[in-house]
Amino acid sequence: MTGPSMSPEAKSPTARRPRRTQAERSQETRSKVCEATLQALVEVGYEQISTTLIAQRAEVSRGALTHQFPTRNDMLVAAFEKLVGEWREGYPFGLDPGKEQLSVDALVDALWNNIFSDGRYIAAMELMLAARQNNELGHALRDILVTWIRVRDRITVQLVGGNVDDAEADLKVQLHLSVLRGIAMHQSFDSDPQTARKLIELWKQIAQKA
């Protein structure tokens, strides 16, 4: 006795899941390569990055990688753009300062939890240092960084209720960012995972008194 017959749709996996378009496959490759690049920057540093290494880490063919990113510089720039885009669209920078504001404590926590504590921030630091170079890569990275900084600083001042034309308010924002940047660097080599959180809490206490 045979069981119930299966419909053609049930027998065919492709009938249940439409084939991805070329654009979707390309986007997946780009995303995998960018993420692998960021992780490699954290683990081996800027000088060790190569298209061969990233193709292996991203588990894509070198041909597929170079089709999307013809040069090492193209790959690095795209990885940085991806990370900055996540920051810009995520919390807290995705907030509308005209509708929602944060206390200084909440801002410090938001910046730390969503940007600076992410291991990929060290990758960003590697690329920020590369942006100082007077070459093609340095110019491309610097363009992204300068545009991002303008947006970042303006929104940050507004999120804590400050006036974007107030030099002191801007200076305080720069101080918060500098402290968090330093703690992120410290975290990258500190063997005690609790140290960073203790430093964050201490900084919030200091900032409240300022």
pTM assigned to the model? 0.85
Kindly tell me the number of DSSP H helices and DSSP E strands found in the chain: 11, 0
Amino acid at 146: V
Residue 187 CA to residue 194 CA, distance in Å, equals 9
What is the Cα 198 distance to its own chain's centre? 24
Give the alpha-carbon dihedral of 67, 148, 201, 104, to 10 degrees: -150
Angle at 146 between CA 142 and CA 148, to 5 degrees: 115
Contact predicate 122/41, CB 8 Å: yes
Strands (E), 1-61: none
Q: How many CB atoms lie within 10 A of CB 109?
A: 16
Angle at 27 between CA 12 and CA 111, to 5 degrees: 125
**Domain ranges (residues) in the chain:** 72-209
pLDDT in tens, the chain (210 residues): 455 555 554 555 545 667 778 788 889 999 999 999 999 999 999 999 999 999 999 999 999 999 999 999 999 999 999 999 999 999 999 999 999 999 999 999 999 999 999 999 999 999 999 999 989 999 999 999 999 999 999 999 999 999 999 999 999 999 999 999 999 999 988 889 899 999 999 999 999 887
Amino acid at 187: Q
Q: Which residue, 3, 41, 190, is CA-closest to 122?
A: 41
